[in-house]
Structure 1
Amino acid sequence: MLQFTEAPDGQALVRRTNLRRALQLIFDNSGSETRAAIARETGLTAATASSLVAELIADRLVVEVGHAASTGGKRAMTLAVDASHHLLLVVVLRFGDAHAWLIALDGAPVYEERLVYGGGDRDREIHAMIARIGGRFGPRLLAAAVQLPGATDGRRVLQSVQLGWTDLPLAEQLTEVLGVPTLLVNDVDAEAVAEMVAGGTVAGRQLFLHIGIGIGASVTLDGELAPGPVGRVGEIGHVRVVYGADARDCPCGRSGCLESSASMPAMLGDAFTEDMDAAELDALVSATDPQRLAEGAVALGRVIMMLTAMLDPDEVVLGGAVTGLGEAFLARVRQETGRAPTGTRVARVRAAAPGVAAHAGAAQLALGSVLGVRWGSIAVF
């Protein structure tokens, strides 16, 4: 299978670049793009555009779907993403379970499987599930992405406290099992990418903060993750932000950490779980001391204010279970970030888009890793 993210030399590189440009146009306008439009939008000749489309069709990435409206001459054939063959495997790992999806090239999930870890060997169970899916769908797999809590450089799990892994070459292990390129992605990074997919925009600098059991952040610039040289961007949960008598003890062993004030358990108590539905979360919020929510909002606002002063983002997006706390909580965070110091600006703070599927960000990263293209706003996500 041709991978457009490879970097051959000379004419092969030009050809690969043009294939990627043509494919992106079809992803952007699936069902209405034509060979003539590709030629116009890329500046290529009609013959070259037709040759590119022929190769994309042969690789089962693109399919002809009908005739365009007549413009007086021969009606052009319209082109769409071919969702009938290639699949992307996405595996989301959490402390208590693993969830796998197979995603077609149009973004639609076509298969899913969930594993709740039993009392046996969790790692063996995860590998067995992935191997089973690979054995069943292997000839159709294009790439795989594994989303997990913890730091990763895309190939190795540098550290995952929740999963108990350190310096684990997981991508290499799974590439050998599946026979396709496999990448690893931090869960907050994946959530930030999913937010861009849902919003259909990739311009500018965005700071994304996930607030759930833990707290993490991600920075994206013009649609690309900015992970830093050792994959540690966004590890802000245990930055100390509260001092003195108001500092609470943190599970990490210190006190005053951001997570000790602004994580969901810190604000709502140990009854909070990330599997709560909206009604359960509303009931828990109603039974919570408003002062704890206010303290969490203040601590979160202080961190956002500091990060905004450093990064100058176009917007700050809050994702994770915190979106269930409602507009009153968000308003309190905005009140605190409005105290921005002289010389800095007050960044726009908003909640993440609702209803975005858990696999959306990792699926986009898998797609980009092999074909170098992006989905637009995909309704099925």
Structure 2
Amino acid sequence: MTLLEPTRHRGPYEGMVLKILRDEGPTSRTRLSAITGLSPTTITKTVAPLIELGLLTERADEYGGLGRPAISLVPVPEALTVAGVQLGVGKYRVGLTDARSQVRSRIVSTFDPSLPAEEVMNLIAADVRSLLTADSGPACIGIGVGAPGPVDLARRTNIRSVNLGWSDVPISDLLEDRLGIPVVVDHNVRSLALGEARYGGHDAESLAYLYVRTGVGLGVAVKGEPFYGGHGTGGESYIGHTRVVEDGRPCSCGARGCLDTVVSEPSIAARLAELGDPLPPDANVMSEMRARARRDPAVAELEDTVIDQLVRSMAIIVNLFTPELLLVGGSLSSAPAEVIARLREGTRERIFPLLRDSLRVEPADGSDDALIRGAAAIALEVLHYS
């Protein structure tokens, strides 16, 4: 499989038209002209190459009156391929998707977190190449990478990943050199929020995504658009490095008492080990803690502390960003229903009263495909719909 039309110059309005058709569904040229303010001639010139490439098709709408029926332009999601790479600490997921970020093939691989970044990129490139070689679909136009930690404003370099020990890793350059395909990089949890907002089927204009695993990350999509902060980076939220315990335990960031040191999987596992009840390898941390809390008051106290700190953080997120939907992912995706219920009710109790009735708190889809979908959404947003 090769890059789709590598030398083709995209028209200035293609992304805008494709985005409208994605969000609105089949739409006539006349309606597109009204929405965009572009002339009918410009719309025709814009869509002609897209029809030729098979990215759009035409459909005669049902019409019971006189004259000709309207002709609608219909997107063809399966006429496009993008790759998504969701990178975690010691594990990554690679998949191929269509223009609706629907995953059709995937590889899940583990790696030694102490490996140099270039060696990890070699592994990822090999798996992407393997999927592309076996795939019979259309050519791949780009790769989206969800990376742990902040990225640069150009969305090419992972500035720092505390839990991997990486600094200034040019992920786009490394993968483009190996694969010859454009690569877009973004913060991993923001990519998950974007994927759920665009393609998750949620009835919510705005959502927040709180991810708890090795650390704590936050992504926000406001009216479907990913939220970016400042400080000269790609705007990652540092909620996991908010101090919640004075003189608390040391954090990987160099501070003490951060949220990560209370609610992350390694922190909970360490506390359970100190209580004389260590977790087995690959245990479901939240489920194990819930089961042990039923019989051990000390573990029940630990669980109360974890839930309380999560609720406090979730309430701050809701009061700041006012999302209609707050998804909790990572280890919380498969947390027991009792834990989710406590998080939901605790958050509602702490937020501004006018927000309580409209807020939904739900576990996120923690499947491999959902994580890949988020990474692929980055590439789609920048390379296809922009």
Considering the TM-score relative to the shorter chain, is it more than 0.5? yes
- Aligned-pair CA distance for 1:200: 4.8
Give the letter for the 1:124 counterpart.
N
Contact 1:101 1:111 survives alignment (8 Å)? yes
Deviation track 1:246-283 (CA, whole Å, cap 9, x = no partner) reads: x456566764321222224444646377785xxx9645
Which of residues 3, 19, 28 is equivalent to 1:24?
Answer: 19
Structure 2 match to 1:160: 161
CA distance in 2, matches of 1:251, 1:51: 54
C-alpha deviation, 1:54, in angstroms: 1.7
Are 1:152 and 1:231, in contact at CA under 8 Å, matched by a contact in 2? yes
Cα drift, residue 360 of structure 1: 1.6
Which residue matches 2:301? 291
Match among 111, 117, 122 for residue 117 of structure 1: 111
C-alpha distance in 1, partners of 2:46/2:90? 46
**1: CA distance between counterparts of 2:5 and 2:321?**
39
Q: Distance in 2 between matches of 1:108 and 1:331?
A: 30
- Residue 243 of structure 1 corresponds to which residue in structure 2? 246
The equivalent residue for 1:224 is 226
Distance 2:333 2:168 in 1: 33
SS in 1 for 2:260: helix
Post-superposition offset of 1:43: 5.2
Q: Which moved more, 1:159-168 or 1:129-138?
A: 129-138
Partner of 1:103: 97
How many residue pairs end up in the alignment? Answer: 353
Residues 337 and 273 of structure 1, relative CA distance in 2, 3 Å threshold:
farther
Q: Work out whether residues 264 and 272 of structure 1, in 8 Å CA contact, stay in contact via their aligned partners in 2.
A: no
After superposition, residues 2-17 of structure 1 pair within 5 angstroms as 16-17=12-13
For the pair 1:303 / 2:313, whether they are aligned, the reply is yes
Quote the residue 2:186 is aligned against: 185
AA partner of residue 222 (structure 2): L
Distance between the aligned counterparts of 2:31 and 2:281, measured in 1? 50
Change (3 A) 1:243 1:163: closer
Distance 2:374 2:17 in 1: 23
* Separation in 2, partners of 1:239, 1:299: 11
After superposition, the Cα gap between the structure-2 partners of 1:122 and 1:355, relative to the gap in structure 1 and judged at 3 Å, is closer
- TM-score, length basis structure 2: 0.75
After superposition, the CA RMSD in angstroms is 3.8
Of all paired residues, the percent bearing the same amino acid is 24
The alpha carbon displacement at 1:325 in A equals 2.8
- Report the alpha carbon displacement of residue 242 of structure 1 after superposing the two structures with TM: 1.9
Q: How many Å apart are 1:336 and its aligned residue?
A: 6.1
Q: 1: CA distance between counterparts of 2:204 and 2:361?
A: 16
The 1:200/1:37 distance shift into structure 2, 3 A limit, reads farther
Distance 2:215 2:156 in 1: 23
In the alignment, residue 239 of structure 1 is paired with which amino acid? T
- Give yes or no for contact 2:163–2:252 (8 Å, CA) kept in 1: no
Task: Give 1:131 shift.
Answer: 4.6
Shift of 1:187: 1.6
Report the 3-state secondary structure (helix = DSSP H, G, I; strand = E; otherwise coil) of the residue aligned with 1:174.
Answer: helix
TM-score after normalising by structure 1:
0.76
CA distance in 2, matches of 1:28, 1:217: 25
Q: Deviations for 1:204-234, whole angstroms, at most 9, x for unmatched residues? A: 5x44321223111233333223142323532
The aligned residue for residue 331 of structure 2 is 321
Task: Spell out the pairing of 1:247-262 with structure 2 (5 A cutoff).
Answer: 247-248=248-249, 255-262=256-263
The 1:21–1:308 alpha-carbon spacing in structure 2 relative to 1, beyond 3 Å, is closer
The offset of 1:167, in angstroms, is 0.9
Q: Tell me, yes or no, if the aligned pair for 1:265 and 1:271 is still in contact at 8 Å.
A: no
Distance 1:314-1:106 versus aligned 2 partners, 3 A rule: closer
Letter in 2 for 1:151: P
Q: Which residue of 2 aligns with 1:9?
A: none
Please give the secondary structure, in 1, of the residue aligned with 2:181: coil
Work out whether residues 220 and 226 of structure 1, in 8 Å CA contact, stay in contact via their aligned partners in 2. no
1:140 shift after superposition: 1.1
